[in-house]
Amino acid sequence: MDYWIITVAIVAIALCIIAVVAVGMRGSLSDRAPEVANVLANTARHLNGDADPPQGLVDFFEETARSAASARSAISARSAASATEPPKR
């Protein structure tokens, strides 16, 4: 069962790559669907690293970094508090 899911995922990824190449990167189908061609060309620029990352993605990683830093500070505060207490026997 898992092999079918993996196979479908691989085929879907391959079809997306073919669409980016055929339509988005000045392929032969770009004249027929200019809106799709623009979206796929933008996707190709992002995948190549030529475009700036979307603002939503930047905000997400900044929020993740802030929450990780606050979690680390909370853990270090708890360990510092427990280090000053004498051991319980």
CA distance 32 to 41: 14
Q: Which two tokens stand for residue 47?
A: 């995948």
The label of the residue with tokens 């606050």 reads 70
pTM: 0.42
Q: Where are the beta strands (DSSP E) in the chain?
A: none
29-88 pLDDT, tens digit each: 667 777 877 887 887 788 788 888 888 888 888 888 888 777 776 666 666 555 565 666
* Residue 22 in this model has a pLDDT that exceeds 80: no
pLDDT at residue number 12: 94
Structure-token pair, residue 63 = 């929020």
> At CB < 8 A and 24+ separation, what contacts does 2-6 make?
none
**Position 89 pLDDT exceeds 70:** no
Domains of the chain: which residue ranges?
Answer: 1-51, 53-83
